[in-house]
Structure 1
Amino acid sequence: MKKAAEVSAHRSATVPVAGQGAPTGLGADLSTRDRVTQLLLEQGAATAAQLGSALGLSPAAIRRHLDAMLADGDVLAREQAVRGHRGRGRPAKVFVLTEAARVRCGTHHYDNMATAALRWIARNGGSQAVETFAAEQVSALEARCRAAMEDAGDDPLARAEALAGALTAEGYAASASVIASGGQLCQHHCPVAHVAAEFPQLCEAETEVISRLVGTHVQRLATIAHGDGVCTTHIPTQPGRAQSGNTVTTVRTDR
């Protein structure tokens, strides 16, 4: 939780509370929601009144932020458990973070564990063991994508478009487009980016899967793991059909 605490301290230092020259507009809304998120992360659950009191916000103001966070899927509202005698009226609702919101403000604990595991594999089995592990990890993804592409035909660009849809369903936020030199597959999210930054074998195994699924030689131009904004794979216009082993070329664009 150290990183989350550091983020909280930074936000507290840059985002004044109401009544102390608090900023206005969209930036202020986002900052306030960050603070709501941090409070819920620390406390587990809280009512709107408790959150408003902690942040110095009126009931109407905190309700506006909570409504927006509910709409965005960042929080859930539950009835507050009441022990003993219950007074008149409905019990106050308590708000908790959704799992997706927790992941976004996490400290990459699972990434750290995965990285440590791969370091152990590399020390005890060498680079080949890491490559084998990476290939096995993407095999299930390949099978699911292949099933989703059954009706895509044989044209590489048509298959790339079908693959983009399959990858999007897997959480990669992918898209495919036609460019002058062929086709381009873009993945706007990478679930293993932090780990792949140290172990590029994960990117290479994924690229080989793309090559097999599209049915042709491809070129990986950029990866999120290496600091690019998007993972970009180029599909040449008239490539040679992928042979056994599926030749994959990785070309860095930031060098």
Structure 2
Amino acid sequence: MNQPKEKDLSTRDQIMQMMKTSGPLSTREITVQLGITEMAVRRHLGTMERDGLIESKMIRQTLGRPTAVYGLTELAENIFPKKYHTLTLDLLGELADESGEEYVNHLFERRKDKLNRKYEPQMQGKSLPDKVRKLAEIQNENGYMTECEQVEEGHFILKEHNCPISQIANQYTHACQCELKLFESLLEASVERTECLAQDGNRCVYVIRSRA
């Protein structure tokens, strides 16, 4: 597959920055701001729309026909730097100073119980293989880039290649322990973590075995 040229990437970044700061823009508005041809702008917009970075909508004008404007999608918004974890760590640090780290651990336990109540109904009546597949689906929806495989009957490997809360888990390892307990509760199986992203691992790996 051909790699995008540096100039293309630069123009795409400029268009995204413009939409981020100014909101949805028409082809003409982008053309004027970038100082390139309308044909070139349309080519970039077509590629960006195909890649799911922008979406178009029609807006009515006071005079004349409706005009198409282009704005960022949620996928594109996620590209821009966001440091929610910094705020979270600051708040948890203040809470630990005020009430002790045990109280922070208690919050992780409450989060685990809340997630268990949320997902447990989706596990009812399922066999262990189906529960593992459902858990992988849930974790994928939450951004963990999960895959699972069945080694033999009653024996599974679950791998998480991403951790959305890695910066928090690096500092508060009780979050990882709560995830392990959550898996055990949802699966009603024995779960062992053999590799952990928060402990310099390349991924989080869980070995799941039937209790029968």
SS in 1 for 2:126: coil
* Mapped partners of 1:27, 1:222: distance in 2: 38
Q: 1:57 Cα deviation (Å)?
A: 4.1
8 Å Cα contact 1:188-1:230 kept in structure 2: yes
* Mapped partners of 1:170, 1:54: distance in 2: 38
Q: Does 1:147 align with 2:125?
A: no
Q: Cα RMSD between the aligned structures?
A: 3.0
Give percent identity, aligned residues only: 24
1:165 to 125, 132, 137: 137
TM-score, length basis structure 2: 0.79
1:69 to 48, 58, 70: 48
Summarize the Cα distance change of 1:25–1:216 in structure 2 as closer, same or farther, 3 Å threshold.
closer
* Mapped partners of 1:212, 1:144: distance in 2: 12
Summarize the Cα distance change of 1:40–1:226 in structure 2 as closer, same or farther, 3 Å threshold.
farther
8 Å Cα contact 1:148-1:166 kept in structure 2: no
* Mapped partners of 1:106, 1:81: distance in 2: 33
* Mapped partners of 2:33, 2:170: distance in 1: 39
* Mapped partners of 2:172, 2:28: distance in 1: 47
TM-score, length basis structure 1: 0.68
Matches within 5 A, 1:28-43: 28=6, 29-43=8-22
* Mapped partners of 1:93, 1:229: distance in 2: 45
Task: State the number of aligned residues.
Answer: 209
Q: Which runs of 5+ in 2 are unaligned?
A: none
Q: Does 1:26 align with 2:1?
A: no
8 Å Cα contact 1:189-1:230 kept in structure 2: yes
Aligned partner of 1:45 in structure 2 is 24
SS in 2 for 1:66: helix
Q: 1:163 Cα deviation (Å)?
A: 1.5
Aligned partner of 1:204 in structure 2 is 177
Matching residue's letter, 1:163: L
Aligned partner of 2:167 in structure 1 is 194
Matching residue's letter, 2:50: A
Matching residue's letter, 2:189: T
8 Å Cα contact 1:134-1:201 kept in structure 2: yes
Aligned partner of 1:11 in structure 2 is none
1:101 to 76, 81, 86: 76
Matching residue's letter, 1:61: A
* Mapped partners of 2:146, 2:194: distance in 1: 15
* Mapped partners of 2:198, 2:42: distance in 1: 38
Q: Which runs of 5+ in 1 are unaligned?
A: 1-23, 243-255
* Mapped partners of 2:200, 2:34: distance in 1: 36
Summarize the Cα distance change of 1:203–1:56 in structure 2 as closer, same or farther, 3 Å threshold.
farther
SS in 1 for 2:193: strand
Q: 1:133 Cα deviation (Å)?
A: 0.5
Aligned partner of 1:215 in structure 2 is 188
* Mapped partners of 1:228, 1:27: distance in 2: 34
Give CA-to-partner distance per residue, 1:124-167, whole Å, 9 cap, x none. 222211111012123232223222122322x4x55322321233
